[in-house]
Each structure stands twice: as structure tokens, then as C-alpha cells.
Amino acid sequence: MKLTFTDATLVRNGKTVLHPLDLELTERRIGLIGANGSGKSTLARMAGGLIRPSEGAVTVAGYDTARDDKAVRRITGFVFQNPDSQIVYPIVEEDLAFGLKERGFAKAEHRKRIGNVLDRLGITDLRERLAHELSGGERQLVALAGVLVTEPELLILDEPTTLLDLRHSRRIANHIAALPQTVIFVTHHLDLLVDFDRVIVLDDGRIIADGDPANAIAAYKRAMI
Amino acid sequence: MINGLYRPGASPIHRLRAGTKLLLLAITCTIVFFMEGWALAVVPVITVALYATARFDAQTLYRQLRPALPFILLIAMFQVFAASWVEAVETVLRFSGLILLAALLSLTTSPAALSDAMLSAMRPFKRFGLPAEQIALAMTLAIRFIPVISQAGEDVREAQRARGGRNRFFRSAGPTIIRTLKLADELAEALEARGLGLGDAEAPRRPTSAFEPRR
Ligand SMILES: Nc1ncnc2c1ncn2[C@@H]1O[C@H](COP(=O)(O)OP(=O)(O)OP(=O)(O)O)[C@@H](O)[C@H]1O
Ligand SMILES: [Mg+2]
């Protein structure tokens, strides 16, 4: 899996949210950190093809996100910060089936995969619960499960652990570490990134550091003083 | 509608197929609507029996009826004066029966199964341009988001109380609507990200190399 940004720029309402970016991402675990409003979510959305660059191009596994957006969406999974807007069916089990149904998987495959992902995240007991009766953290886990169940080749996570307790965010971090897919992980929990292959630091729409976690996190801390 | 949310269970009524229940409800409602006189006395008997079969208690039954009760009583009162007390009683029996039976369907049927059943019921009309999938999805989203939005309203009122404001329903309407619009925006993006409508696209051929521009 390879992601490329070629002079990718984003201008919104006359404001440059992302300055021209040139990136080639081939690592399996990529962390994205930076201050509030620095452009992390914007960059993540762009990588997943949810927004197109105003200028330049972004490709995911060779697909141009502007031209082949359906192909990009098919292989990309996206978890946002607010789980409420991502759970679209009232019952957990049915919600997990949504992405599978849209991708045309057979019912038997639904059952197998759903059982599997619930088990891996340790939330089998939530299977038949109503989404609106779950706690915030439980909903965040369900939102994550709904994306993992489609087994995307590229997984983009935008602060998916903000509502989770220590045990669950640790569990998710471990789970992500064991996934075979490419993961882009936006977070303010720096300790979740220590084993990552690459960490990118954004500030005001520009990359100010990019490298191994220790150096990148140190640069981020320096920039925040 | 909020009270009529699905309650998972294993009763015979729960296990009945959604399409069957939908059809039975349509037939029963039609019959009840045209029933008259003493025959209507069987409606509450059957309704209570069905609720019992579905293992719901009296309180659950009452909760389905409560929101509509003022309207039913109002109409009944009107009929006592305009027509006769017999017709007033008929109206009460008829309307409460209809409401309870419809509620029983949503109490015992999972929203996805219900939306699938509606989808197949609407299928014949797709030829005439009826957007069946969209209607079924919209219905499911409505069921999912009614509690979310009422929670958003509750959060806003709580925040206003916490800051010493008075608890006035209309003052919370503005912020609640703004939250709801933001939620709708996020939902649209999430539906896209989760793959809405991917099924009807044939998968494009993958380029052999990232450097080979596709055309
Ligand atoms: N549609 C838009 N119109 C105008 N400005 C926008 C738009 N979308 C984002 N921005 C601005 O772009 C900047 C980057 O936003 P982004 O959401 O990417 O930040 P972030 O790094 O994810 O922040 P956080 O840590 O708070 O989530 C912000 O200043 C934001 O106000
Ligand atoms: Mg963000």
C-alpha cells in the first residue's frame, strides 16, 4: 500500500488549510500529530478521498482520489472522532453489517466477520444492544468495529480513542499494531505512537517534523512550548 | 415512536418474519378500522393477549398508548356530545387498538428487518422510479437518530441549567438545531466513508503501478 501527495493543497474560504504537501507514505503504521486546528483531520480526510485537494493530487494504492473516488472508498476505512454520527443503524449487529451490505457481501460472511471483529475488540456482549443505550466509549468501539469489519487495506483513524478508558485505548493500540493493513492514526495520545514506523507533525497546515516517533514527538513538544 | 423502539426478545411474535408481521398488521388494521359495535370488544382482548405472548408487561403496553391518550380521549369526548357514548367507546377501542398493534410491530421487529421488509414491499414500484433503497435507509436513520437528537436537546438544556440559566424549552431549540445540523453533516460524510452505494459500482481495474496514470 502506497499513498502519495503531490503538491496537494487545500484552500477553504480563502484560507490555506494545508500548504502544498509532498509525501510518499509506504510505512505500515503512520502517526499524525499536531496542535488543534493544525490540519490533521483535513490531511486525514484527504488521504481517504473524502475531500479532494484544491490543487495537486493524492493517490491511494495507485488510485487518484479525485478520479477514482469509489475505488479509494472501497479499500479505505475511516473512523472519526464522534461515534454518534458514524453508527447508522439502531442495533450494534445491524450497524456492523452496513458496510458489508453496501459492498455486496453474502449474509453468511456478515455473521462470520461480525462475530470475529466483536471478539477481537472484546465487545461480544454488545452485539444485540441498542446503539443509543451504550456509553460513549462503547459507541467508539462499535464505530471502530463497523470499519474493521470491512477489512480495509488502508485504515484512517481520527482520534478514535478520546472517549476510551486506559484499558480500551491500550487494547485498541495493541489491536492496531497487530493489523496487517496500513494505518494512519491521528491522536493527541502520544504514548500510543511509540512503536509506530513513522510520525508526522503538523503545525498551521505545514509539516514541521517527519520521522521516527522519538524524534518527531520531541520536535512536537519543542514546537508547543 | 420513541417508546416503540425495538426490544430484542425470543417470543413467537419476535421470531415471526418482519414481512409477515407487516402484512398481518395491514390486514388487522383494515379490519379493525371497519369493525363496529360489540365486535370491537375483542380488539383489546386480542391486543392484550398479543402483548402477553410477546412477553411485555402492562406497563410497556401503557407506555405505547400514553402519548396518544389525550387525543383519543378528546375525540371520544367530542363524540359523546356529537353522536353517542356508544360511538365514543368504539372510537377509543378502535384507535387504541390500532396504535398498540402498530407499536407491537416496532417493539418486536428489528429496524433492519423492518427496513428489509419494506424494501421488498416497495420493490414492484421501483420500476416507476420509487427510490426504495433511499426510503428504507431514511426510515432506519430516523429510528436511529430520534434518541440521539433528543439526547442532544437534553445536553443543551443541561448545559444551560449548569450555567444558571432557566430551563426553557424554546431557548434550547436554537443550539439543538445547530447541533443536529452538524450531526447531519457528519452523518453524510460517515455514510460516504462507510461505503454507501459502493455495491452498484463494478470495481475498477487496479493500475499496475502508481506511476502509470489511469484513463
Ligand atoms: N470548511 C472549512 N472552512 C474553513 N476553514 C476550515 C474548514 N475546514 C477546516 N478548516 C480550518 O482548517 C484548520 C484545520 O482544521 P482540522 O480540522 O484539520 O484541524 P485538526 O488538526 O484536526 O484539529 P483538532 O486537533 O482540533 O482536531 C482549522 O483552522 C479549521 O478551522
Ligand atoms: Mg481533528
3-state SS record for chain A: CCEEEEEEEEEECCEEEEEEEEEEECCCEEEEEECCCCCHHHHHHHHCCCCCCCEEEEEECCEECCCCHHHHHHHEEEECCCHHHCCCCCEHHHHHHHHHHHCCCCHHHHHHHHHHHHHHHCCHHHCCCEHHHCCHHHHHHHHHHHHHCCCCCEEEEECCCCCCCHHHHHHHHHHHHHCCCEEEEECCCHHHHCCCCEEEEEECCEEEEEECHHHHHHHHHHHCC
* Per-residue pLDDT at B166 exceeds 90: no
* Per-residue pLDDT at B19 exceeds 60: yes
pLDDT tens per residue, range B107-129: 999 888 888 888 888 888 888 88
Q: Which amino acid is at B86?
A: V
Atom 27 of ligand 1: nearest residue by CA position? A36
Residue B194 is predicted with a pLDDT of 92
Weakly modelled stretches of chain A, pLDDT under 70: none
Domain ranges across chain B? 1-109, 131-196
Instruction: Using the mean position of ligand 1's atoms as its centre, give its distance from the Cα of residue A39 in Å.
Output: 5
Name the DSSP class of B194: T
Higher pLDDT, B38 or A41: A41
Residue B167 is predicted with a pLDDT of 63
d(CA B103, CA B116): 18
Q: Do A89 and B194 touch (CB under 8 A)?
A: no
Half-sphere exposure of B120 (CA within 13 A, CB side): 11
What is the pLDDT confidence band of residue B169, given thresholds at 50, 70 and 90?
low
Residue B208 is predicted with a pLDDT of 39
Name the DSSP class of B197: T
Higher pLDDT, A22 or B70: A22
Q: Is A37 left (phi over 0), alpha (psi -120 to 50) or beta?
A: left
d(CA A121, CA A19): 37
Q: Do B195 and A4 touch (CB under 8 A)?
A: no
- A170-179, B23-32, B82-91, B196-205: least confidently modelled range: B196-205
**Which domains are delineated in chain A?**
27-44+69-224 (3.40.50.300)
Q: Is the CB of A40 under 6 A from ligand 1?
A: yes
Q: Which three cell numbers stand for residue B49?
A: 393477549
Nearest to A173 by CA among A152, A155, A195, A148: A195
* Per-residue pLDDT at B212 exceeds 80: no
- Give the chain B residue nearest A93 (alpha carbons): B112
| Chain B: closest CA distance from residue A170 (Å) | 25
CB B43 within 8 A of CB B35: yes
Q: Is the CB of A187 under 6 A from ligand 1?
A: no
Residue B163 is predicted with a pLDDT of 82
Q: Do A99 and B199 touch (CB under 8 A)?
A: no
Q: Do B198 and A102 touch (CB under 8 A)?
A: yes
Residue B206 is predicted with a pLDDT of 46
Report the interhelical angle of A166-178 vs A107-121 (nearest 10°): 120
Residue B197 is predicted with a pLDDT of 82
Residue B121 is predicted with a pLDDT of 87
Residue B178 is predicted with a pLDDT of 87
At B65, is the secondary structure helix, strand, or coil? Answer: helix
Q: Is the CB of A77 under 6 A from ligand 1?
A: no
Q: Scanning the structure block, which residue is given the C-alpha cell 482520489?
A: A65
Residue A99 is predicted with a pLDDT of 92
* Per-residue pLDDT at B203 exceeds 60: no
pTM of the model: 0.80
What is the pLDDT confidence band of residue B148, given thresholds at 50, 70 and 90?
confident
* Per-residue pLDDT at B213 exceeds 70: no
- Give the chain B residue nearest A60 (alpha carbons): B210
